[in-house]
């Protein structure tokens, strides 16, 4: 039997308000239309994905998106919800009912879950690895990240969390949770100063209770650690692509520059970007359009304001395109598109057509084959 080829992961990055969620959705739809099985995962807490897909409420469970027959493949979508995921991971460990009740009733459990829910960037990588495990027939995973430079936490936080989960500190704390004279064992293991410091800060009762919690949920954390390792490898491999999305705005290009610098420090070179909401060269070269601008450049009132605005926009997008091309060798320009608020089926078709431009670009310029 032929070995299953691991799916591609395509991560969309950019500032807020540049159309990142819409374009990640359009890319996923285009891939599904071409016959691929695609999972679209949003880790953006703003929850824009369900609006982009024109579907009901999305949650952490990956669900199928209804598509018309013109789509040859399948599309699944989900919205990262760390609290839901953590509860599911507990059940997946096959923990006895009594142990689950004890864990859920633990004095620190709800505090832990609440804290975990704020660490979506780190847990997004765990979720990607879980999809890879549970959906082996997927061809492509598309990730819509939160806006701004903090999206890079999707790469950096998982590694730091994995180091902590596997650290001696965690093992020492779990010793207290297991009890049985383990304080003396911790001292023999060389943890005296560490545990003494922790005890002075939080109290030894706190450490014991927290250690008990870690012991109860040890299987979950071990699974998380393994998934973090798997995710870290694939997110830095040739199977993953990163796409910068920008609009014709100085601040949006600034964010792309910051993201590019941050990714380079992680050893990741991005080769593909998208400049969204431009006035297309076809329209600029249209004789009727150029004649209109020329005819009314000396007009007064609202018409002159409009003509000046269009000319200014074209000038700004030329500058934005030059800045993007200094960062990535290939830039696809996406024009302003009317009619995306039509019926759901037609809207998905229109989005897929937009996404086909990005899909082709990624195929040609990613570090591996798509």
| DSSP classification of residue 2 | P
Is residue 115 in a domain?
no
How many helices (DSSP H) and strands (DSSP E) are in the chain? 17, 8
Find the CATH number of the domain harbouring 271: 3.40.50.300
Is residue 148 in a domain?
yes
CA–CA distance, 214 with 209 (Å, rounded to integer): 9
Mean pLDDT by 10 residues, the chain (370 residues): 66 93 93 95 82 81 86 92 82 80 73 64 82 91 90 72 59 52 45 46 50 66 82 86 94 96 90 92 89 80 85 94 94 77 65 87 58
CA–CA distance, 72 with 52 (Å, rounded to integer): 20
Is residue 131 in a domain?
yes
Retrieve residue 50's tokens: 């369900």
User: What does the DSSP assignment read for 27-93?
Assistant: HHHHHHHTT-EEEEEE--TT--HHHHHT-S---SS-EEPP--TT--SEEEEEE--HHHHHHHHHHHT
Helix axes 97-104, 82-92, angle to 10 degrees: 150
Q: Which residue has the tokens 């057509």?
A: 353
Cβ–Cβ < 8 Å for 47, 62: no
Task: Name the strand (E) or helix (H) holding 272.
Answer: strand 272-278
Task: Name the strand (E) or helix (H) holding 273.
Answer: strand 272-278
Sign of CA dihedral 43, 48, 54, 58: positive
Task: Name the strand (E) or helix (H) holding 245.
Answer: strand 240-247
Q: How far does Cα 279 stand from its chain's mean position?
A: 28
What pLDDT is attached to residue 113?
Answer: 66
Tell me the C-alpha to C-alpha distance, in Å, between residue 5 and each of 41, 252, 367: 20, 36, 16
Is residue 86 in a domain?
yes
What pLDDT is attached to residue 161?
Answer: 64
Beta bridge partners of 10: 142, 241
CA–CA distance, 100 with 216 (Å, rounded to integer): 8
Retrieve residue 156's tokens: 């950096």
Sign of CA dihedral 246, 132, 345, 366: positive
Domain encompassing residue 289? 8-94+120-154+239-365
Is residue 2 in a domain?
no
CA–CA distance, 88 with 125 (Å, rounded to integer): 16
Is residue 50 in a domain?
yes
Q: In terms of C-beta density within 10 A (0-12 exposed, 13-18 middle, 19 or more buried), how is residue 279 classed?
A: middle
Cβ–Cβ < 8 Å for 60, 81: yes
Is residue 194 in a domain?
no
What pLDDT is attached to residue 146?
Answer: 87
Is residue 1 in a domain?
no
What pLDDT is attached to residue 351?
Answer: 86
Q: Which residue has the tokens 């830095």?
A: 236
Say how many domains are in the chain.
1
What pLDDT is attached to residue 187?
Answer: 41
What pLDDT is attached to residue 117?
Answer: 59
Residues in the chain: 370
């Amino acid at each position: 039997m032929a070995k299953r080829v691991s799916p591609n992961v395509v991560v969309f990055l950019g500032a807020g308000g540049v159309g990142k969620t819409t374009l990640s959705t359009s890319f996923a739809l285009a891939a599904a239309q071409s016959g691929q099985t695609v999972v679209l995962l949003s880790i953006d807490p703003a929850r824009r994905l369900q609006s982009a897909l024109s579907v009901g409420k999305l949650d952490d469970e990956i669900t199928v998106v209804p598509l018309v027959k013109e789509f040859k493949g399948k599309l699944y979508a989900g919205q990262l919800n760390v609290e839901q995921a953590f509860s599911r991971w507990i059940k997946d460990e096959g923990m006895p009912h009594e142990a689950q009740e004890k864990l859920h009733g633990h004095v620190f459990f709800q505090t832990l879950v609440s804290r975990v829910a704020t660490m979506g960037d780190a847990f997004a990588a765990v979720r990607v690895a879980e999809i890879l495990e549970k959906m082996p027939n997927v061809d492509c995973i598309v990730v819509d990240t939160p806006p701004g430079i903090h999206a890079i936490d999707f790469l950096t936080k998982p590694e730091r969390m994995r180091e902590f989960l596997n650290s001696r500190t965690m093992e020492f704390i779990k010793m207290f949770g297991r009890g049985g004279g383990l304080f003396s064992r911790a001292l023999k293991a060389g943890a005296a100063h560490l545990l003494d410091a922790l005890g002075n800060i939080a109290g030894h009762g706190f450490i014991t209770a927290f250690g008990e919690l870690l012991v109860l949920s040890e299987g979950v954390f071990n699974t998380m650690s393994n998934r973090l390792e798997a995710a870290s490898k694939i997110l830095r491999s040739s199977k993953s692509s990163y796409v910068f999305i920008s609009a014709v705005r100085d601040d949006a290009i600034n964010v792309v520059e910051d993201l590019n610098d941050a990714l380079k420090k992680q050893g990741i070179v991005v080769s593909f970007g998208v400049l969204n909401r431009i006035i297309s060269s076809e329209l600029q070269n249209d004789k009727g359009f150029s004649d209109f601008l020329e005819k009314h450049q000396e007009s007064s009132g609202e018409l002159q304001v409009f003509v000046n605005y269009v000319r200014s926009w074209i000038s700004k997008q030329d500058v934005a395109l030059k800045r993007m091309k200094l960062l990535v060798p290939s830039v696809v320009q996406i024009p302003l598109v009317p009619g995306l608020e039509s019926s759901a089926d037609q809207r998905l078709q229109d989005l897929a057509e937009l996404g086909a431009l990005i899909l082709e670009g990624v195929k040609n310029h990613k570090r591996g084959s798509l």
